[in-house]
Amino acid sequence: MSDYGKIILGLVGFLVLCTSPFWYQVLSSDGLPAPELKLPVGEQGCVESKEYMRALHMDLLNRWRDAVVRDGERIYVSTSGREYQMSLTGTCLGCHTSRADFCDQCHTYVGSENYCWSCHVEPINLRVEAR
């Protein structure tokens, strides 16, 4: 086993190479900027609690989609008793007026692509992209 040292060195080198993106993030000063959400001004709160929306907004959106498309329902009665129209463009983007300043902040950060916008219309940014 005269190559013992070489093998260990090779393995260490391999591990460092594999994990280099993480080291790069940690060590570089201008790493990936954290998401900065622009929240709507003057609103009391979202459809459900902030904690729920943050963790499970995708469940809510899926339920809204099924309710509207499959069951022909349009009204959502939240736990606070307030009624909302289930509409991505109308209700969600009615407050969060910019996809880039809200949705994309986290979705781009974690690399999770959503394909809502290939059909649903954004209030502001679409016109620019379409050209």
Residues that bind another protein in the complex, under the rule CB under 8 A: 47-48, 52, 56, 58-60, 62-67, 69-79, 86, 89-90, 115, 118-121, 123, 126-127, 130
Nearest distance in Å: CB 51, another protein: 11
d(CA 13, CA 59): 43
Nearest distance in Å: CB 68, another protein: 8
d(CA 90, CA 92): 6
Asked if 109 and 35 touch (Cβ cutoff 8 Å), the reply is yes
Nearest distance in Å: CB 44, another protein: 16
Which amino acid, 94? Answer: G
Residues facing 85 on adjacent strands: 75
Token reading at 11 = 């393995």
Nearest distance in Å: CB 126, another protein: 7
d(CA 21, CA 129): 31
Q: Nearer to another protein by C-beta: 45 or 59? A: 59
Q: Nearer to another protein by C-beta: 4 or 115? A: 115
Asked if 113 and 105 touch (Cβ cutoff 8 Å), the reply is no
Q: What is the DSSP letter of 76?
A: E
Q: Nearer to another protein by C-beta: 15 or 75? A: 75
Q: Nearer to another protein by C-beta: 19 or 62? A: 62
